[in-house]
Amino acid sequence: IRLVGRIDLGRDRLILWDLGGQEGLRTIWEKYYSESNAILFVVDSADPDHLQQASEVFGESLSHLHSQHVYDT
Catalytic residues: 22
Report the alpha-carbon distance of residue 70 to residue 4 in Å, rounded. 23
Going through 1-73 in order, the beta strands assigned E by DSSP cover 2-9, 12-18
Nearest to 37 by CA among 17, 55, 57, 59: 17
